[in-house]
Amino acid sequence: MDASALTIDRQDAAPLYWQIYERFRDAFRSGSLRPGDHVPSSRSLASELGVARGTVEEAYALLSAEGYLMRDGRRGSIISTQLSNLPILAPDKDKVTDEAKKETRTARPGRWDNRPRKPSPFQLGLPALDVFPRKLWSRLTARQARMVGESDMTYPDMCGYWPLRDAIAQYLALSRGIHCAPDNIIITGGYQGALDLAIHTILNPGDKVWLEDPGYFRAQLAIQNSTAQAVPIGVDTDGLRVQDGVDLAPDARLAIVTPSHHSPTCVAMSLPRRMALLSWASENDSWIIEDDYDGEFHYSGKKLPALKSLDAQGRVLYAGSFSKTLYPSLRLGYLVAPDEVLDRLEQAVQFHAAGVATLQQAVTAQFMIEGHFTRHLKRMRTLYARRRTVLAAALSKTFPDMLDIHLEGGGMNIIAGLPGHLSDVELVARAAKHGVAIQALSENALVDRGHNALVFGFTNTPEEDAEALCLKLKKQLA
């Protein structure tokens, strides 16, 4: 199949993986794909469409589960030869014409389409956009725009706007127990920018990298698409199983972890595991990237400090982002780097990054300096605690014999375990048909596919809507 012939519509309410699944299924039914035909690898198709590899993998998994695809490891995937007895539908000329017209109006394959879309119910990774102080933010933006002078319009400091770096340093000292100089902070294009910068600087071809399994798919993809070697390490109720990592790859160059609240299960890494991880890194001259994407959102029990605050040997690169604390389209993140690697990171920024727009940095800095940021986080913690409790109760009430819900101390997700006879992937596919973006926990795993649970985002779900949304979901899953 020619990957360039496959298109997706980012304005469509259907998730991207579902659109890819439907395109393949329709291609078989129309006769343009036949039993035995080879299909592109998930890596090449993801590159062609401009989507994450995990998105294509999710579509291929669904096609495989329904019998359309036969997958054979390194030899690739083909359309199942067992489908040869099924009738092939002749293409409808009028429909083909209509589709061709539609394709001329949509984004070209392989290009990102950033047109705004309304959040889906239970969508992961979104803060409470409905209560963000937009008027205040607009006033700060207008004020900063009026203050732009000629000197502000020259090439900026590629490592970031100094007042923002200073504000972040003060915030981390008070809130996360991290004491660093503004010089040690590099402003990046979101967490992904921080991760890419660190990977580019630290890793050499063939280096081994510990990855949480299950774990954050963007970290997984970043390593899979690099020249490094991914080493999946299991996670339990105490977080990353450090000893398993030592047994499997003691010579790993890097470990990428989410210790405050594991992504996506929200489990906090225990203090003994943290100390073991730091000890391994120090003894082996290895590095750790700490992704503290939602460390502020803890609701019960003792909140452990950031891993970086325990880092006496300077082996941790701390990655933060404003996507979860403010809003994702701001595209601001930061990397706190130890002195040993700081010069190399600064050189990498100069040669491989273009910096981040100064105006948005200035607005964010002023938001922090005037105290709005800490007040906003305090309000969000209270709000999220309520929304989590209400949604968990609504899910338990609506699915009493189906979902096993256990709430961790913090995080932005609810994990709902399923009985063995139900598949999280199949349920997610049913919900996706109706534009509901829950996730399958098993799809976040690289090796350990024993996880069978649904993942719900609660932060953007108002309390008054929770029960109605759960009842609607029950009908969609029936």
pLDDT at 1: 54
In total, how many domains does the chain have?
Answer: 3
325 domain-assigned: yes
Question: Does residue 199 or residue 38 have the better pLDDT?
Answer: 199
CATH of the domain at 382: 3.90.1150.10
Same domain, 440 and 296: no
Question: Does residue 76 or residue 426 have the better pLDDT?
Answer: 426
pLDDT at 28: 76
Same domain, 280 and 385: no
The per-residue pLDDT for range 156-193, each reduced to its tens digit, is 889 999 999 999 999 999 999 999 999 999 999 999 99
pLDDT at 2: 56
419 domain-assigned: yes
Place of tokens 């706007």: 161
Question: Does residue 29 or residue 432 have the better pLDDT?
Answer: 432
> What's the mean pLDDT in 370-398?
97
> What's the mean pLDDT in 242-268?
97
User: How would DSSP label each residue in 451-478?
Assistant: --EEEEE-TTS-HHHHHHHHHHHHHHH-
Beta bridge partners of 71: 77
Same domain, 155 and 290: yes
CATH of the domain at 252: 3.40.640.10
131 domain-assigned: no
Same domain, 187 and 47: no
Angstrom CA distances, 231 to 163, 192, 277, 359, stand at 39, 20, 15, 40
The answer to whether residue 399 scores a pLDDT higher than 60 is yes
The per-residue pLDDT for range 342-382, each reduced to its tens digit, is 999 998 888 776 678 899 999 999 999 999 999 999 999 99
- Of 79, 105, 131, the last residue of a domain is 105
Angstrom CA distances, 404 to 329, 389, 414, 445, 455, stand at 34, 14, 10, 20, 12
Domain span at residue 362 reads 148-371
The per-residue pLDDT for range 233-245, each reduced to its tens digit, is 999 999 999 999 9
pLDDT at 85: 47
Question: Does residue 358 or residue 85 have the better pLDDT?
Answer: 358
Same domain, 237 and 167: yes
The per-residue pLDDT for range 428-437, each reduced to its tens digit, is 988 888 888 8
- Of 371, 391, 425, the last residue of a domain is 371
> What's the mean pLDDT in 295-322?
93
Query: Which among 260, 262, 320, 307 is positioned nearest to 280, based on CA atoms?
Result: 307
Q: Which two tokens stand for residue 96?
A: 């083909």
Work out the percent of the chain whose per-residue pLDDT is above 70. 88
Beta bridge partners of 230: 209
Beta bridge partners of 124: none
Q: pLDDT class for 76, splitting at 50, 70, 90?
A: low
Residues with Cβ within 8 Å of residue 39, at least 6 apart in sequence: 1, 24, 33, 45, 60, 69, 76, 77, 78, 79
